[in-house]
Amino acid sequence: ATPCTMETPQIGGTYSREKQVSNTFETEVKYSQDRFDAVLKLGKTKSSGGPSARFSVASKPRLTIPGQEQNGNLVSNWDISNGIADFTFSPELQQNIRNGIAQIDVGSTNSSFTNSDLAQRYLQLDLTRRFDGFLKSVQIGGKWRDLSIHRETGRNEWYADAASELRYQDTAAGAVARPEFFYENPIGNINGGFNANVVPGINFDKYLSYLNATYGDAVRVNERDFVYDLGERVFAGYAQANFGTGGLRGNIGVRMANTRQSGNTSDRLQYLNDYCVNGPNGSFDPNRPLGADGNCQVLPLSVRETIVNTRADQTKTYTDWLPSFNISYEITPDLLVRGAVAKVISRPSFANLGSERSLTYRSPEYAFDRGQFGEFEGWSGSGGNSELNPFSAWQYDAGIEWYFHRGSVLGATLFRKDVSDFVVPLVLNVTREVAGEQVLIQPYSTVANGSNARSQGVELYAQHTLSFGLGAQVNFTYNDTSVADVTLDGQSVGSSALVGSAKTQMNASVFYEHGKVLVRASYNRRGEVVGGLQSGLNVYTSPYEQVDLNAAYALTDRLNITASIINLTKSEESQHLGNDTKDRFVYRNYFGRRAYVGVSFNF
């Protein structure tokens, strides 16, 4: 019989060495004569980068070597009742793994990477003709933009036998967790996100040095048949008339946008065929031969796994007409009322629209071999949704502003948005065609469109500045949203409030700005935010608040020194499933207290 071992905590991490390069070129030509202005802009941007080296590893505090079985951790307690994950492990955990009571989890060790290239060209022309009288000016213009994204994927491999491409983690030595692979002392600067009495860490410098010294430098393996090329071409034009007389002013116009999105990507199908060498009685015999590390003897990668990349081409074109109207009227020199109505759109992101479909099939043999680690038979995966419609909304607002003092204002705005086709992240079970067959995928992560929804509320704001530079700003927004159906493949899969919306939000700041000095303290609070659907329930982000500090000093007219402290209050963000309780804990995130100092010079 195989002795029982403690599989927790899984000690892991990721090492990444990355480089990003971005270049932007833009030129502008202006022409003015009498009442006519023309502005021509053309430019090009290009960025590229990604990891040149990326390595993820995980280990477990136990030994499964026959005759040497031993646990490095005897206690694993956790508690999420207070909305934060509290962990308790054996106090001697750190010393035990430094004494060699640990093994590498080779199934969670990999070195995959993705590198990206993004390029964009654009051309814009704006024409303005000014007039006397009620019609102040007419503006017309157009813009052309061509965007492309290319991605390459691959992995870095250390081969125990380069001729046969035998990876080191597929040998018995790959599971050996040498003491120097871990830091001498636990990580002690865990300031938020979770609590634990001991947190061991991977020493990647020594781990990678060992791999390079033992197996030679890593071999870069590019996945040539895995394709990701997306493009977006936009032609847009607008016309706008600006008018005014006395205290009345405003504009009316329309914008047209023609968008063509195209993609050539790969659907990735991963078949996990098997894992362990079979026992005497076949695939489902628990008496499998063991390796030197005490785990089952592992089949070669070429037998265990089959990768099939299938090309998927997509093209989508749509044209939108977007009218707008804005008007304001000065009741008195200090009192202003205004109103606006407009139609707006936001195109789906490439990540949502063109993300490749990545599916994994676990065979009965594989699920049997890896059952103790929670593996199950069948399909799971994720993918984008090429049928997503653009987010669109008719938005209306009416407001009043009172300028009661120089540099000071009190205002209120009523707003309403009638939203169509907002994007909702989903995690659900679906049936899809895969390799010519209808299969159940559980779970499947994707995105879908929410149908008609309403967002309406009020915004209140104020600012007051004293003559010597001391001032304060505050704004508060109350937003009430409706619930809308969410559809995928023409079928309703649930209902959701407007994703990304919060019922309340407030920002307040106190500042001093005089001469060369600017100092600002800001407080931001956001109410509960609606997220995507999981298992038929929305994910909610709990209310969040933080304080930031910013300062700047002008040494000269061109040279400035800046400093800031972000998240002075060390605030943490947490999520829970459903709005009926906070006990369905999803995650907690601590972004850290961050300090920045900078110097800027204007040419």
pLDDT at 210: 95
Q: Tens digit of pLDDT for each residue in 241-252?
A: 999 999 999 999
Residue 3 above 60 pLDDT?
no
Q: What is the 3-state secondary structure (H, E, C) of 70-88?
A: EECCCCEEEECCCCCEEEE
Rg of the chain on CA atoms, in Å: 30
Residue 333 above 50 pLDDT?
yes
pLDDT at 170: 84
pLDDT at 597: 96
Task: Answer yes or no: are the C-beta atoms of 13 and 203 closer than 8 Å.
Answer: no
pLDDT at 239: 98
Task: Answer yes or no: are the C-beta atoms of 156 and 115 closer than 8 Å.
Answer: no
How many residues comprise the chain?
A: 603
| Confidence band of 585 (pLDDT split at 50, 70, 90) | confident
Residue 292 above 90 pLDDT?
no
Mean residue pLDDT of the chain comes to 90
Mean pLDDT, rounded, for 575-585 = 86
Tell me the C-alpha distance between 33 and 290, whole Å.
Answer: 86
Residue 232 above 70 pLDDT?
yes
Cβ-in-10-Å burial (0-12, 13-18, 19+) of 569 comes to exposed
Q: Tens digit of pLDDT for each residue in 36-65?
A: 999 999 999 999 999 888 999 999 999 888
The 10 Å CB-count burial string (b at 16+, else e) for 503-514 is bebbebbebbee
| Confidence band of 268 (pLDDT split at 50, 70, 90) | confident
Mean pLDDT, rounded, for 507-536 = 92
Residue 26 above 80 pLDDT?
yes
Determine how β-strand 194-196 pairs with β-strand 85-89. parallel
- Give the CA angle between residues 131, 137, 142 to the nearest 5°: 140
Helix ranges (H only) for 290-345 are 301-304
| Confidence band of 412 (pLDDT split at 50, 70, 90) | very high
pLDDT at 1: 45
Q: For the chain, give the percent of residues with pLDDT over 70.
A: 99
Tell me the C-alpha distance between 510 and 523, whole Å.
Answer: 9
pLDDT at 2: 52
Q: Tens digit of pLDDT for each residue in 351-410?
A: 777 667 889 999 999 999 888 778 889 999 998 887 788 889 999 999 999 999 888 999
pLDDT at 127: 98
Mean pLDDT, rounded, for 425-449 = 86
The single-letter DSSP state of residue 165 is: T
